[in-house]
Amino acid sequence: MNYYKKDGQMNLSDRIAIETGISSKESFKMIGKLLDRHPSTIAHEIKENRTFISGNYFLRKDCRFVRQHVQHHICGDQDCEENCCRCRSVDCQKYCPKYVSRACHKFDKPPYVCNNCAEKKLCSKDKYIYSAKHADAAVTRRRSESRQGVRLSGEKKSEMDELITKLVKKGQPLTHIYAEHQNEMPVCLRTVYNYIDDGELTIKNIDLRRKTGYKQRGKGHQPSLGFANLEFRQCRTYADFEYAMKIKFTEDEVVEMDTVKGVREQGKRLLTMIFRKNNVMLLFLMPDGKAESVKRVFDYLEAGLGMDVFRRLFPVILTDNGSEFKKVDELELTEELEYRTSIYYCDPMASWQKGCIEKNHEFIRYAIPKKRSLNPYTQEDLTLLMNHINSVKRPGLGNKCPYELVDEEETDFLELMKLLKMHLIPPDEVHLMPDLFFQK
């Protein structure tokens, strides 16, 4: 039975029920059943509208030893004669190696507040309290403020406008800009979009690729059975891939592969590969779109990394049904006929089955627009582009870029990065426009 049917915003009566439920030590599920709302809605309401009460610490420091230690020059300023724990210009807790916090963190877990804590009355530490009256007032105030339009001062708005405009003109997505400069932004990302919609900033919607770049989806068509039954696809279909994922491979082991064309002419092609576990994308410039060129890339990686490392990095590859991938035995096997990887094919006309790499091709088109030939570019150019793409911060990665998700203990991946000359680009230097290749 589904108890969670109620929609719409909470009112004061709902919040009183939540406050009563917390004080009675009821679970979020029980409170949710009472209000016909999902437990996650109850948890979000509490965390969003709880009231913070600052603790009463000696000298406003929550260090356990603040009364005992008398230290000087912890911050490195040898001319300062002030006792570090009494200094107001520098927080000694950031520098002191003997700092031990006595703060309570029980509110980091459900119920996220101290309402039902037995030690609440005598506690002098930081705490959170959920009050229905204060929560309802806070929500009403936020709702009112959100409808007042632009509430920034002219100076702050000008500073934000200058920062965003400068970086957008480099081709950086707004999500990347906000992830890097969130502490400098006086508003949230959604408000930035609203300001652009309202014409409050220098840049317009036409400057944002994703605002104007989408085309209406076609209805598509069903592929013929003859194409689906091609010999190189036998035992390597997407259904076979899903079965292998259940019994043999994990999601973090999957590498998606595809090619990118410049214009419809004989000439260079781009081989792309992406690791699902961290979204790091590899770019290889090939002289043509033939199967032999793809095989040469595989052979290059195997020779540069060694067979064991290659097998660990590329255990399973998911690609489309392009003719450049049809010589599957030559890709899967080495010259000595040893297996180095397993290749599977998406269903015909189902590019969404490898959506990770399809989505990342968008970044390539920022710097190399469609209908532009790849013949003028070199592998050095594509390596530069690869590093800029992999340095873009993304909300789906926790506001981190793919390179930042590579752990220092992943020696195999670090070896791959060294082989392909991959390195992190500073956030504000990320450039995804066609003139990237003229700035080398």
pLDDT value, residue 1: 47
pLDDT value, residue 69: 73
Output b/e per residue, 339-356; b: 16+ Cβ within 10 A: ebbbbbbbbbeeeebbeb
User: Nearest 5 degrees, angle CA 395-CA 170-CA 269?
Assistant: 85
CB 412 within 8 A of CB 255: no
Instruction: Count CB neighbours of 190 within 10 A.
Output: 9
CB 368 within 8 A of CB 436: no
pTM: 0.66
Distance of alpha carbon 193 from alpha carbon 285, whole angstroms: 36
pLDDT value, residue 282: 96
Dig out the tokens for 246 from the structure. Answer: 């259940």
Distance of alpha carbon 328 from alpha carbon 233, whole angstroms: 9
Residue 111: asked if its preceding bond is cis (omega within 30°), the reply is yes
Distance of alpha carbon 63 from alpha carbon 101, whole angstroms: 5
pLDDT value, residue 225: 46
pLDDT value, residue 66: 81
In 3-state terms the chain splits into helix, strand, coil percentages (rounded to 5) of: 45, 10, 45
pLDDT value, residue 121: 86
- In tens digits, the chain (440 residues) has pLDDT values of 455 666 788 999 999 999 999 999 999 999 999 999 999 999 999 999 999 999 888 877 888 888 777 777 777 777 887 888 878 777 777 788 888 888 898 899 999 999 999 888 888 899 999 999 999 999 999 888 777 766 777 888 899 999 999 999 998 999 999 999 988 888 888 888 888 888 888 988 888 876 665 555 555 545 544 455 567 788 889 999 999 999 889 999 999 999 998 876 678 999 999 999 999 999 999 999 899 999 999 999 999 999 999 999 999 999 998 889 988 999 998 888 889 999 999 998 888 899 999 999 999 999 998 888 899 999 999 999 999 999 999 998 989 999 999 998 999 999 999 999 999 999 999 999 999 987 65
CA distances from 438 to 94, 209, 262, 434 (A): 43, 22, 19, 8
Distance of alpha carbon 187 from alpha carbon 152, whole angstroms: 9
pLDDT value, residue 100: 84
Specify the pairing of strand 51-53 against strand 127-129: antiparallel
Q: How far is CA 134 from the centre of its chain?
A: 34
